[in-house]
């Protein structure tokens, strides 16, 4: 078996930047046709142009992942444009950090709507086609925070813990149709989101990582590529931590 996605069609949410962008680039390099989905159309267009400029196939789409009806319509359009959807990566996510005492209902609801409900929306929208073809890969981007918690991130931790529960339940429901469902749980990854932390906070995080470095979007994309390929065909319902040993 080879680490290839030749002939596969993949839809990746939140792929206008960061981890999602790297997954889109990596999947396209492995032979997949990619639907680059982001809430900001301009960033999706930029990534799709980068991929097509490298000789691979991609199309850009703008979507609010928390809008159930809009997601249904989008996935129908993507399936028509690409000729189906074989692989779904639920990566779209936001943070609205605050201590519980100060966290507003809006801050909690928004993170759950994007990070958790968004994954449900896309999974639901892609299922029928995957079940009909009796093949599929669903990869949900969780977080070690969903397993260990973190002060000031109760909303984010709850959403990512929910992603893990969704992953395991879906894996049990879909295995008979040769659809695998797994979660990748990044640790401290060097992205625009983590760059907002001050230097002291970043150093504190890295000090707690046995490998003594921040992860990269490429590290996460490599794990996704394995799970999406035939090499990962006997792996389902699992949480693969990509965290340098942060959580053991």
**Nearest CA-CA partner of 221 in 70, 71, 47:** 47
Task: Tell me if residue 156 is catalytic.
Answer: yes
Structure tokens at 40: 């900001």
The three-class DSSP label of residue 154 is helix
Length, in residues, of the chain: 248
Q: Looking at 61, 156, 205, 234, which residue is catalytic?
A: 156
* Per-residue buried b or exposed e for 43-65, using 16+ beta carbons within 10 Å of the residue's own CB: bbbbbbebbeeeebebbbbbbeb
Residue 236: CB partners within 8 Å, gap ≥ 6?
171, 175, 180, 181, 182
Question: How far from each other are the two terminal CA atoms of the chain, in whole angstroms?
Answer: 30
**Where in 110-214 does DSSP place strands (E)?**
136-141, 179-186
Token readout for 32 is 């997949």
Across the chain, how many H-helices and E-strands are there?
A: 10, 7
In which residue are the tokens 């979660």 written? 183
If DSSP codes are grouped into helix, strand and coil, which group holds residue 145?
helix
Catalytic residue positions?
156
């Amino acid at each position: 078996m080879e680490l290839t996605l030749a002939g596969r069609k993949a839809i990746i949410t939140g792929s206008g930047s960061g981890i999602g962008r790297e997954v889109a680039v990596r999947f396209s390099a492995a032979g997949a046709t990619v639907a680059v989905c982001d809430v900001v159309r301009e960033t999706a267009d930029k990534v799709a142009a980068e991929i097509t400029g490298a000789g691979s196939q991609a199309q850009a789409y703008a979507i609010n992942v928390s809008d159930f009806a809009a997601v249904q319509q989008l996935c129908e359009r993507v399936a028509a444009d690409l000729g189906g959807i074989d692989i779904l990566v639920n990566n779209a996510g936001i943070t609205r950090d605050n201590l519980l005492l100060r966290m507003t209902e809006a801050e909690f609801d928004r993170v759950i709507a994007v990070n958790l409900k968004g994954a449900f929306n896309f999974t639901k929208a892609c299922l029928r086609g995957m079940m009909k073809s009796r093949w599929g890969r669903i990869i949900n981007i969780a977080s070690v925070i969903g397993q260990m918690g973190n002060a000031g991130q109760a909303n984010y931790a709850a959403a990512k813990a929910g992603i893990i529960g969704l992953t395991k339940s879906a894996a049990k429901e879909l295995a008979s149709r040769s659809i695998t469902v797994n979660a990748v749980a990044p640790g401290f990854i060097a992205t625009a989101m983590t760059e907002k932390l001050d230097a002291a906070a970043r150093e504190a995080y890295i000090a707690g990582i046995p490998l003594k470095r921040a992860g990269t979007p490429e590290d996460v994309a490599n794990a996704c590529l394995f799970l999406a390929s035939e090499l990962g065909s006997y792996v389902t319902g699992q949480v693969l931590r990509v965290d340098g040993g942060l959580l053991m």
